[in-house]
Amino acid sequence: MRIKAVIAYDGTGYGGFQRQKNAPTIQEDLEVALDKLTGVPTRIMAAGRTDAGVHAAGQVIAFDTAWAHSLFDLHRGLNALLPEAIAVLTLGVVPDDFHPRYAALRRCYRYGLYLATVRDPFVSRYSLHITHPLLLEPMQVAAQHLVGQHDFAAFGSPPKGENTLREVYQAEWSVEGDSVYFDIAANAFLYRMVRILVGTLLRVGCGALTTADFVEILQNQDRRRAGPAVKAQGLCLRRVVYPNETL
């Protein structure tokens, strides 16, 4: 049977989701736990391959297993075997053809900033520390221009063989105390797209770019005028949306 699981992880210290030779990965830790628990080598599929240092509060994976005990035991067993940085939040049986990447309708990411003169060690692990004031209004106006279907070539590169058209459903900034969040939802993202978008919006926020400049960069697919990708530690994959969700 095929199992879908929603997982969360603290990506600090990991080389990203996808297995690789020279760094610990989320995929490896999950597969090692599954192998131990089920006694059978198990490969997992994921909704998105988060980069090194990126966190997840709602990544979705799927795998096939002949597990003969209860789902409760599978859930509890996995959490007992996984390192503290990774947790299986929910878990259930799905149709055999469910693929977490191809079936996904929408991915929701959040990028966190915190504005303070001095670094906070407990917050800086999950957000980007900003020491200068930010002009949030033009950042918000610029972000709104991202909504809709656009060619996002200015803000990232596609996986091999794919184009750079993506549809953004939501892109907005919100403030909670000293923290500022950028929430963006799209059908899919280009490589490093959220981090380059935030890097470019921060240029708007410090007055180096106007919102008109930002729109021009988007429309002209002008990679050279887009900002650099901001640090991975502020990024979190919060949710992946599927059709007819019951799990």
Rounded CA gap, 152 and 197, in Å?
Answer: 10
CB 17 → its own copies: shortest distance, Å? 14
Catalytic option among 10, 35, 51, 73: 51
Rounded CA gap, 238 and 191, in Å?
Answer: 17
CB 193 → its own copies: shortest distance, Å? 23
- The reply on whether position 55 binds its own copies by CB under 8 A is yes
Given candidates 18, 124, 170, 210, which one binds its own copies under the rule CB under 8 A? 124
Q: How many CA atoms lie within 13 A of 51 on its CB side?
A: 16
Active site annotation includes 35: no
- The reply on whether position 97 binds its own copies by CB under 8 A is no
User: By CB under 8 A, which span of 83-91, 182-190, 191-199, 217-225 interacts with its own copies?
Assistant: 83-91
CB 9 → its own copies: shortest distance, Å? 6
Q: Are 16 and 51 in contact (CB under 8 A)?
A: yes
Cα torsion through 10, 104, 223, 150, rounded to 10: -140
Cα torsion through 165, 11, 16, 204, rounded to 10: 40
- The reply on whether position 122 binds its own copies by CB under 8 A is yes
The contact set with its own copies (CB under 8 A) reads 8-10, 55, 57, 75, 79, 84-89, 118-122, 124-126
| Active site amino acids | 51
